[in-house]
C-alpha cells in the first residue's frame, strides 16, 4: 500500500463499507472484535509511552513492543489482511470504527501522529516486533514533522510492513467532484427510470406487452453507480414525488432493494434480477380501479378483496413477459405474503417467501411509510424503521430487517434531525460504526434562519477538551415540518 | 432554490449561446433575412424550454462571462464572451429572461444591443429602450454608480441586492404597515410598490428573491413579519405583497411559517392559507401539510416516539445466527430456485385463473424448471393439468403442456435424477403420468445408467410394469439384440412376476444372447410360473436354449420341473445327439436332490451297453448322482 493511495480511501472506503455492507459484516461488529480494535489502540499508545520513558532494552519497553505485535496479529487472525489506524479531525478510528473514548484517553498518540503529518497508519502482512519498535520510535522522534519524513524514517528502519498516509485537500476536492458527477449520473438514471416506468404502466394498462430491455439497462446503470458510489444511489430515495407517487415509489423501492441486496452479498446477476423485480412488483395495480386505490376513507370488504388481487394480477401480467428469469413475477405474487405467511395470496405450502420478496416487501413498506400521500402524512424515517423492527418475525424477516436498518442507519440519508443546539440538519452519510451518529449537513440555525451554505458535521467527532461528542441528535423530524421540501439536493 | 450543479447552469448556457448566435446573425444579416428570423425563432424556442423547466432565469453579466445561480457559464465560449462584453459595455449588470418571450421581444433585444453602445447609453440606456419597445419578458438591470435617492425597499434593487438587506427592509416595511394599520390609518404597501416598479419580467424574480430572503431571517422575526402583514388597515386591506412573496416559498417552508404564525395569532393555519393566492395544486399540497398528524400516526400503529438507542442496540446484537440465516437465504436464491418458484407461482395463478393463457405460461415454464431439477413443482404442474383436463376450452393448451411434460428430454432427465435419488417422488410421478413415453425413457435410461445406479430405478420399473413390458416387447421385436438382452436382464432383475410373460416371449428371439438372458431371468425369479416356462423351454428348438433351461432349473431349485427333466433322460434315441443337454439335466437332478429321479437314474446307471465315450460319461454321471441321492437318503 502506497502512501498516497490510502488518502483517498479514508472516507471513500468508509462510505463504501457504510453503505454496501450490513452492520453484521462491519469489521468490528461484535463486542469481541471491537475489543481487539480497542486493544490495538491501547497497545500502540502504551508502546509509545513506554518508549518515551524507558530505553529500548528495558523489559517494559520490550514487553509493550511485543504487546503491540500481538495486538496486530490478533486482528489479522480475525480475517484482516492489513489494519489501518486513522485520525480524522482529531478522532481516532481503527478501520472505520470510531473509538471515542480512546480518542480522548490517547490524546498524545493522536497529537503525535498529526504532528508527523500522519492521518493513516497501516500495519500490513508480516508485521513483527522490529516494525512495532520502528513505529514507537517514530512517534518519539521529535524532529519528524511531515509525512515524507515519517515515511523515510520507516524505510530507513526497514519497517516494510508499516505504511503512513495523509489526507490532502486535493484528494477531498477530487472526491467531491466525483461525488457530484455520480450524483448527477444517478439523478439522470432516476429521471429516465420514471419515464420508462410511465411507459410500462401505460402499456400494461392498455394490455400491451412492454419492453423489458430498457428497464434492465436502467437497473444496470443504477448498479454501476451503486458499486462506484453507494451514497449517490441511496440518496436518490430521498426524492419523494408527490405528483406521481407510483412511479417514484417503484424506482425508490428498486434502489433500496438493490442496495440491500448488495449489502447481503448477492452477486451482480442476482442484483439485476432483484432490481427488475423491485421495479415491477406492484404492476398489478394497473388493473385495480384508480378510485379504489386512491380512496381516502376505509375500504369496504369487497374493495379490499379487489386491492388484494393486485398481487395475482401482477403475476398474471408478468407471467408471459420475456424476462431473464421469472423473479419479477414471483415477487409480484409473493410480496404481501409476509414472513409468517399470514398475508395474501394464501401460500400454497409452508415454503417461506423468496429472499427477493422479503427484500422488496421491506423496502416497499419503508418507502411507502416515509412518503407523503394526498390522504396521509409521511412517517419520519426513524419511526418507520421502528415500525419495521416491530414487524420482525411477523410481516418481515428478522435478519433481513436488521440488515436494512443497518444499511440505512437509525437516521437514514435524507432524514432531518434537530441537533442538541437546536439547529436542524439533514443526514447525508450514515456512519456504520455508530448508527446513532451520522454525518449531517446543518441547514437551519437554532434561531430558525437558513444558513447561506450548509455546514457539514460528523456527529462522531469528539471534543478533545471535554472528551464528549461535539453534537448529538435530539430528535428526528419530518422534513416538511422543518420546512424543507427537497432534501436530495443536500445529499 | 436550484440544485447546485444541476441542469439550470447547462440549460442557461445553452440559451445564452442561442442568444449570442442570434446577436451575431443580427449583425450579419438584414432584419428580413430568413437566417436572422430563424435565429430569433431558436431563441424563442430555447427560452420557452428553459423557463418551462426553471422559471425566470437571471444572468449576472461580467466582463466576458455570465453567472447563473453562482455558477459561471459561457466562460471560454467566444460568442457568449462577445455578448457579455456587449452587455457590459451597455452597462447591463443583469439580464433576466422570463417565461413567454416573443419573436418581437427577441428581435427588439437584438436590435437594441446591436446598436452603438455610447449612443444607447446617451439615449437613456438599454432598460428604457426595452421598455419603449414594449418588451416584457426580457429585462435588464443596469449598473449605475449613482446612489439611490430613496430609502428602504424602494432604494434597493430587489433582483440583485444581498438577501439579508432585502430581508431587513421587508421586515421594516411590514412593521410600518402594521403600525399604520393599528393606528387606524391607511397603510402603504411599500413592497408592492418596489416590486411594481420593476418590469414584469423581473417581478417574479424579485418575489422569489424576497421569499428566499425571508428564510434568512430568524424564525421569530419571520413569523412577526407575516403577522404584521396580516394586520388589516383602515381600508380593510392586508399587506398583499408579503402574501404574494410567501406564495413563492417552497411549500414545506410556507406550511411551517403558516403554522407558527397561526399559533402566535391564535388562529387556524387553514384560515391563513385562504388569505394567500396560490395555484390549486400548491394549495392542496399545503392543505395536506397543515393537517394534524399525531392521531393519524397512532391509528396506523406508528409509535409516538422511536427508541433509537434500543433499535441501535438491537442492530448491534445482530449475531452469527442472523448471518447464517441470511447466508442460507442468499444461497437459496439461485437460478434453480427462481425457475422452481416461477413455475410454482404460475401454477398458483393458473389455479386461480384457469385460462388458456395461464396454461400456456405453465407450458413455457416447464422446460426451465425441469432443466434445473425442480421436479416437485413440475409434478405440481402435472397435477394441475390433470385437474383441468375436463375443461374442453383448455384442452388444446393442456395437450400442448402435456406434450412438453412427455418430451423425451424431460422424461430422460427424470430418469437420470431418479437414478441418483430414488426417493424423488415428483420425478417418479412425472414418469408414471407420462405412461408409455415414461416407460420408454425409463427403459432407455436404465440401459444407459451405470450399474451401481440401476437398482435405484427398480421400484419405478416394477410400478410401471405394464408399459415397461410393452416397451421391452417392442425392443424384442425391433431392437438391437444386445439392447434386447439388456432389457430382459432388467426385467429379470425386477423380480416381478407380471413381467414373466414378456421374458417368455424373449425365448423365441432369434438371437441366442437374448434367449440366454431370458433363461437367466427366469431362473432368477423362481416360482411356479417361471418353472412352467423353463420346463417348456426344455423342448425349445434350440439345443443350447434347452441346455440352459435345464441348467437354470437345477440352479433355481425348481423341483416341479423334475418330471420334465426325467423325461429327457428317459428317452433313448440313438439318432439324437443331445449328450450336452442330458449332462446338464443330470447335473440339475443332482442339484435338485429329488428321490423322484432315482428310478430313472437307476435305469440309466445300469444300462448294460453304452456305445461311445459320451454315453459312457452319461452312465457314469448317472451312477455318481444315484450314489449321492442314495447316500443322501441314508443320511436322511
The three cell numbers locating residue A456: 457539514
> Which of B3, B254, B330 shows the shortest C-beta gap to A264?
B330
Same domain, residue pair B587 and B517: no
Bridge-based pairing of strands A439-444 and B92-97 is unpaired
> Which of B297, B318, B349 shows the shortest C-beta gap to A406?
B318
Taking residue B305's Cβ as centre, other Cβ atoms within 10 Å add up to 11
A237 contact partners, CB below 8 Å, separation of at least 6: A252, A255, A256, A367, A413, A414
At B44 the pLDDT is 94
Q: What is the mean pLDDT of residues A61-68?
A: 92
Residue B306 placed within a domain:
no
ipTM higher than 0.90? no
Residue B328 placed within a domain:
no
CATH of domain A171-395: 1.10.3210.10
The CA dihedral of B625, B630, B632, B636, to the nearest 10 degrees, is 160
> Which of B251, B296, B326 shows the shortest C-beta gap to A400?
B326
Same domain, residue pair B481 and B341: yes
User: Which segment of A458-472, B544-558, B584-598, B607-621 scores lowest on mean pLDDT?
Assistant: B607-621
Flag if B306 and A385 touch (Cβ within 8 Å). Answer: yes
Tell me which range, A238-242, A369-373, B219-223, is most confidently predicted by mean pLDDT.
Answer: B219-223
The three cell numbers locating residue B314: 438491537
pLDDT-above-70 percentage for chain A: 91
At A322 the pLDDT is 65
Same domain, residue pair B573 and B592: yes
Flag if A358 and B322 touch (Cβ within 8 Å). Answer: no
Distance from the Cα of B209 to chain A's closest Cα (Å) equals: 13
Same domain, residue pair B369 and B516: yes
Mutate to test the interface with B, among A410, A414, A431 (most CBs of B within 10 A): A410
Residue B324 placed within a domain:
no
Residue B534's domain is classified under what CATH number? Answer: 1.25.10
pLDDT in tens, A305-353: 999 999 999 999 998 776 678 899 999 999 999 999 999 998 877 788 9
Same domain, residue pair B249 and B355: no
pLDDT in tens, B252-289: 999 999 999 999 999 888 888 888 888 888 888 888 88
Same domain, residue pair B539 and B617: no
Taking residue B314's Cβ as centre, other Cβ atoms within 10 Å add up to 18
At A241 the pLDDT is 67
At A12 the pLDDT is 40
Of residues B334, B340, B429, the one with CA closest to residue B377? B340
At B575 the pLDDT is 65
pLDDT in tens, B413-471: 889 888 988 888 878 888 888 888 889 999 999 988 888 888 899 889 988 888 998 99
Residue B308 placed within a domain:
no
Q: What is the mean pLDDT of residues B623-632?
A: 80
Same domain, residue pair B177 and B65: no
Flag if A333 and B345 touch (Cβ within 8 Å). Answer: yes
Residue B318 placed within a domain:
no
Same domain, residue pair B541 and B575: no
Distance from the Cα of A336 to chain B's closest Cα (Å) equals: 14
Q: Which of B142, B175, B201 is the endpoint of a domain? A: B142
Range of the domain at B578: 556-636
Tell me the β-bridge partners of A85: A94, A121
Q: pLDDT confidence of A258, banded at 50, 70, 90?
A: very high
Same domain, residue pair B11 and B116: yes
At A467 the pLDDT is 75
Of residues A346, A390, A344, A348, the one with CA closest to residue A369? A390
Q: pLDDT confidence of B555, banded at 50, 70, 90?
A: confident
pLDDT over threshold 50, residue A54 = yes
pLDDT over threshold 50, residue A409 = yes
At A21 the pLDDT is 42
pLDDT over threshold 50, residue A19 = no
Name which residue leads in pLDDT, A275 or B298.
Answer: A275
Same domain, residue pair B109 and B216: no
Q: What is the mean pLDDT of residues B350-364?
A: 91
Size of the A and B interface in Cβ pairs below 8 Å: 213
Q: What are the angstrom distances between the C-alpha of B155 and each of B17, B148, B149, B158, B202?
A: 34, 5, 7, 9, 16
Name which residue leads in pLDDT, B408 or B317.
Answer: B408
B226/B173 Cα distance (integer angstroms): 11
Residues in chain B with CB shorter than 8 Å from the CB of A489 are 1, 3-4, 6
A316/B354 Cα distance (integer angstroms): 11
Residues in chain A with CB shorter than 8 Å from the CB of B316 are 23, 29
Residue span(s) of chain A under CATH 1.10.3210.10 come to 171-395
Q: Which of B107, B142, B177 is the endpoint of a domain? A: B142
Q: pLDDT confidence of B576, banded at 50, 70, 90?
A: low
Q: For chain B, give me the number of helices (H) and strands (E)?
A: 36, 5
Taking residue A461's Cβ as centre, other Cβ atoms within 10 Å add up to 19
Mutate to test the interface with A, among B329, B334, B343, B374 (most CBs of A within 10 A): B329
Is the CB of residue A394 less than 8 Å away from at least one CB of chain B? no
Residue B168 placed within a domain:
yes
Residue B147 placed within a domain:
no
Residue B131 placed within a domain:
yes
Same domain, residue pair B507 and B592: no
pLDDT over threshold 50, residue A3 = no
pLDDT in tens, B113-145: 888 877 887 788 888 888 888 888 898 888 765
A80/B536 Cα distance (integer angstroms): 81
Rounded to the nearest integer, the mean pLDDT of chain B is 85
Mutate to test the interface with B, among A18, A207, A319 (most CBs of B within 10 A): A319
Residues in chain B with CB shorter than 8 Å from the CB of A280 are none
B211/B230 Cα distance (integer angstroms): 16
Of residues A235, A223, A186, the one with CA closest to residue A409? A235
Flag if A398 and B337 touch (Cβ within 8 Å). Answer: no
Rounded to the nearest integer, the mean pLDDT of chain A is 85
pLDDT over threshold 80, residue B610 = no
Q: Which of B555, B584, B601 is the endpoint of a domain? A: B555
Is the previous residue joined to A345 through a cis bond, with omega within 30 degrees of 0?
A: yes
A134/A83 Cα distance (integer angstroms): 17
Of residues A21, A428, A453, the one with CA closest to residue A236? A428
Same domain, residue pair B381 and B392: yes
Residues in chain B with CB shorter than 8 Å from the CB of A447 are 218-220
Q: pLDDT confidence of B594, banded at 50, 70, 90?
A: confident
pLDDT over threshold 90, residue A70 = yes
pLDDT in tens, B164-201: 899 999 999 999 999 999 988 888 899 999 998 888 77
At B176 the pLDDT is 92
> Which of B251, B326, B344 shows the shortest C-beta gap to A264?
B326
pLDDT over threshold 50, residue A403 = yes
> Which of A270, A320, A489 shows the shortest C-beta gap to B364?
A320
Q: pLDDT confidence of B293, banded at 50, 70, 90?
A: low
> Which of B1, B330, B338 shows the shortest C-beta gap to A325?
B338
Please count the structural domains in chain B: 4
pLDDT in tens, A171-212: 566 777 888 888 888 999 999 999 999 999 999 988 888 888
Is the CB of residue A410 less than 8 Å away from at least one CB of chain B? yes
Tell me the β-bridge partners of A84: A122
At B417 the pLDDT is 86
Amino acid at each position: 500500500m502506497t502512501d498516497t493511495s490510502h488518502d483517498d480511501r479514508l472516507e471513500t472506503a468508509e462510505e463504501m463499507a457504510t453503505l454496501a455492507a450490513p452492520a453484521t459484516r462491519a469489521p468490528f461488529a461484535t463486542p469481541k472484535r471491537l475489543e481487539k480494535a480497542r486493544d490495538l489502540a491501547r497497545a500502540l499508545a502504551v508502546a509509545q509511552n513506554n518508549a518515551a520513558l524507558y530505553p529500548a532494552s528495558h523489559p517494559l519497553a520490550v514487553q509493550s513492543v511485543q504487546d503491540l505485535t500481538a495486538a496486530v496479529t490478533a486482528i489479522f487472525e480475525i480475517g484482516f489482511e492489513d489494519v489501518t489506524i486513522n485520525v480524522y479531525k482529531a478522532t481516532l478510528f481503527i478501520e472505520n470504527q470510531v473509538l471515542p473514548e480512546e480518542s480522548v484517553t490517547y490524546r498524545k498518540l493522536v497529537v503525535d501522529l498529526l504532528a508527523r503529518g500522519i492521518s493513516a497508519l497501516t500495519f500490513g502482512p508480516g508485521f513483527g516486533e522490529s516494525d512495532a519498535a520502528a513505529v514507537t520510535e517514530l512517534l518519539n522522534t521529535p524532529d519528524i514533522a511531515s509525512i515524507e519524513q515519517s515515511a523515510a524514517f520507516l524505510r530507513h528502519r526497514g519497517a516494510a510492513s508499516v505504511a503512513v498516509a495523509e489526507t490532502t485537500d486535493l484528494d477531498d476536492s477530487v472526491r467531491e467532484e466525483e461525488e457530484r458527477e455520480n450524483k448527477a449520473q444517478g439523478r439522470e438514471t432516476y429521471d429516465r427510470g420514471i419515464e420508462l416506468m410511465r411507459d410500462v404502466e401505460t402499456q400494461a394498462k392498455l394490455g400491451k406487452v412492454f419492453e423489458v430491455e430498457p428497464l434492465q439497462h436502467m437497473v444496470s446503470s443504477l448498479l454501476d453507480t451503486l458499486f462506484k458510489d453507494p451514497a449517490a444511489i441511496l440518496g436518490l430515495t430521498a426524492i419523494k414525488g408527490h405528483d406521481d407517487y407510483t412511479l417514484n415509489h417503484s424506482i425508490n423501492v428498486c434502489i433500496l432493494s438493490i442496495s440491500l441486496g448488495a449489502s447481503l452479498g448477492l452477486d451482480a446477476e442476482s442484483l439485476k434480477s432483484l432490481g427488475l423485480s423491485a421495479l415491477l412488483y406492484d404492476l398489478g395495480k394497473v388493473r385495480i380501479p384508480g378510485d379504489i386505490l386512491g380512496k381516502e376513507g376505509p375500504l369496504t370488504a369487497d374493495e379490499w378483496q379487489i386491492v388484494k388481487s393486485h398481487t395475482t394480477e401482477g403475476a398474471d401480467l408478468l407471467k408471459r413477459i420475456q424476462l431473464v428469469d421469472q423473479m419479477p413475477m414471483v415477487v409480484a405474487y409473493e410480496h404481501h405474503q409476509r414472513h409468517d405467511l399470514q398475508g395474501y395470496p394464501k401460500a400454497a405450502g409452508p415454503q417461506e417467501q423468496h429472499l427477493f420478496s422479503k427484500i422488496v416487501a421491506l423496502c416497499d413498506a419503508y418507502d411507502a411509510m416515509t412518503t407523503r400521500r394526498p390522504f396521509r402524512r409521511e412517517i419520519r424515517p426513524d419511526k418507520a424503521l421502528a415500525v419495521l423492527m416491530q414487524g420482525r418475525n411477523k410481516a418481515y424477516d428478522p435478519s433481513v430487517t436488521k440488515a436494512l436498518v443497518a444499511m440505512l442507519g437509525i437516521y437514514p440519508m435524507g432524514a432531518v434531525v434537530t441537533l442538541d443546539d437546536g439547529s436542524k440538519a439533514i443526514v447525508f452519510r450514515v456512519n456504520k460504526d455508530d448508527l446513532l451518529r451520522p454525518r449531517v449537513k446543518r441547514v437551519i440555525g437554532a434561531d430558525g434562519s437558513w444558513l447561506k451554505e450548509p455546514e457539514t458535521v460528523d456527529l462522531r467527532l469528539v471534543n478533545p477538551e471535554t472528551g464528549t461528542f461535539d453534537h448529538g441528535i435530539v430528535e428526528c423530524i419530518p422534513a416538511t415540518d422543518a420546512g424543507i421540501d427537497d432534501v436530495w439536493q443536500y445529499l | 432554490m436550484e440544485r447546485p450543479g444541476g441542469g439550470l447552469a447547462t440549460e442557461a448556457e445553452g440559451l445564452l449561446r442561442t442568444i449570442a448566435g442570434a446577436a451575431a446573425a443580427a449583425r450579419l444579416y438584414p432584419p428580413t433575412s430568413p437566417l436572422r428570423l430563424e435565429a430569433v425563432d431558436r431563441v424563442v424556442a430555447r427560452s420557452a424550454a428553459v423557463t418551462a423547466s426553471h422559471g425566470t432565469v437571471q444572468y449576472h453579466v461580467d466582463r466576458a462571462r455570465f453567472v447563473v445561480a453562482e455558477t459561471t457559464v459561457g466562460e471560454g465560449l467566444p460568442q457568449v464572451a462577445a455578448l457579455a462584453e456587449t452587455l457590459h459595455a451597455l452597462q447591463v449588470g443583469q439580464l433576466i429572461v422570463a417565461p413567454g418571450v416573443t419573436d418581437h421581444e427577441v428581435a427588439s433585444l437584438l436590435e437594441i444591443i446591436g446598436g452603438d453602445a455610447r449612443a444607447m447609453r446617451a439615449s437613456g440606456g438599454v432598460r428604457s429602450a426595452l421598455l419603449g419597445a414594449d418588451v416584457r419578458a426580457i429585462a435588464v438591470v443596469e449598473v449605475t454608480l449613482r446612489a439611490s435617492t430613496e430609502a428602504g425597499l424602494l432604494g434597493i434593487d430587489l433582483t440583485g441586492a444581498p438577501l439579508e438587506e432585502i430581508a431587513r427592509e421587508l421586515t421594516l416595511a411590514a412593521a410600518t404597515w402594521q403600525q399604520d394599520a393599528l393606528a387606524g390609518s391607511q397603510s402603504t404597501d411599500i413592497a408592492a410598490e418596489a416590486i411594481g416598479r420593476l418590469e414584469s419580467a423581473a417581478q417574479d424574480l424579485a418575489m422569489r428573491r424576497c421569499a428566499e430572503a425571508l428564510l434568512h431571517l430568524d424564525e421569530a422575526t419571520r413569523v412577526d413579519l407575516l403577522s404584521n402583514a396580516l394586520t388589516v388597515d383602515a381600508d380593510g386591506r392586508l399587506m398583499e405583497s408579503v402574501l404574494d412573496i410567501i406564495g413563492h416559498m417552497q411549500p414545506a417552508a410556507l406550511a411551517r411559517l403558516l403554522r407558527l404564525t397561526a399559533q402566535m395569532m391564535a388562529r387556524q393555519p387553514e384560515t391563513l392559507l385562504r388569505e394567500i393566492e396560490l395555484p390549486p395544486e400548491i394549495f392542496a399540497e399545503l392543505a395536506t401539510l397543515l393537517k394534524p398528524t399525531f392521531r393519524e400516526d397512532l391509528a396506523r400503529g406508528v409509535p409516538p416516539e422511536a427508541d433509537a438507542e434500543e433499535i441501535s442496540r438491537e442492530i448491534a446484537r445482530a449475531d452469527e445466527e442472523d448471518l447464517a440465516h441470511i447466508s442460507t437465504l442468499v444461497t437459496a436464491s439461485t437460478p434453480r430456485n427462481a425457475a422452481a418458484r416461477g413455475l410454482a407461482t404460475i401454477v398458483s395463478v393458473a389455479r386461480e385463473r384457469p385460462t388458456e393463457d395461464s396454461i400456456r405460461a405453465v407450458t413455457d415454464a416447464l422446460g426451465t424448471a425441469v432443466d434445473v431439477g425442480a421436479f416437485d413443482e413440475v409434478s405440481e404442474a402435472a397435477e394441475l393439468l390433470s385437474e383441468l383436463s375436463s375443461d374442453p376450452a383448455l384442452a388444446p393448451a393442456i395437450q400442448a403442456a402435456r406434450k412438453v411434460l412427455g418430451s423425451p428430454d424431460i422424461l430422460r432427465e427424470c430418469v437420470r435424477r431418479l437414478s441418483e435419488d430414488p426417493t424423488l417422488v415428483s420425478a417418479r410421478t412425472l414418469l408414471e403420468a407420462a405412461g408409455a413415453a415414461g416407460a420408454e425413457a425409463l427403459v432407455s435410461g436404465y440401459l444407459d445408467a451405470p450399474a451401481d445406479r440401476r437398482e435405484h430405478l427398480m421400484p419405478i420399473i416394477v410400478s410401471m410394469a405394464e408399459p415397461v413390458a410393452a416397451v421391452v416387447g417392442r425392443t424384442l421385436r425391433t431392437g438391437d439384440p444386445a439392447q434386447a438382452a439388456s432389457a430382459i436382464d432388467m426385467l429379470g432383475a425386477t423380480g416381478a412376476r407380471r413381467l414373466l410373460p414378456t421374458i417368455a416371449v424373449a425365448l423365441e428371439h432369434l438371437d441366442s444372447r437374448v434367449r440366454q438372458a431370458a433363461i437367466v431371468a427366469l431362473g432368477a425369479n423362481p416360482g411356479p410360473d417361471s418353472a412352467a416356462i423353463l420346463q417348456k423351454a426344455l423342448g425349445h428348438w434350440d439345443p443350447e436354449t434347452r441346455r440352459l433351461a435345464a441348467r437354470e432349473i437345477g440352479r433355481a431349485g425348481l423341483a416341479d420341473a423334475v418330471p420334465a427333466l426325467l423325461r429327457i433322460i428317459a428317452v433313448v434315441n440313438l439318432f439324437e445327439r443331445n449328450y450336452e443337454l442330458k449332462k446338464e439335466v443330470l447335473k440339475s437332478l443332482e442339484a435338485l436332490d429329488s428321490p423322484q429321479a432315482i428310478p430313472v437314474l437307476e435305469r440309466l446307471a445300469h444300462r448294460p451297453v453304452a456305445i461311445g465315450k459320451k454315453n459312457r460319461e452319461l452312465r457314469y454321471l448317472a451312477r455318481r448322482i444315484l450314489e449321492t441321492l442314495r447316500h443322501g437318503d441314508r443320511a436322511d
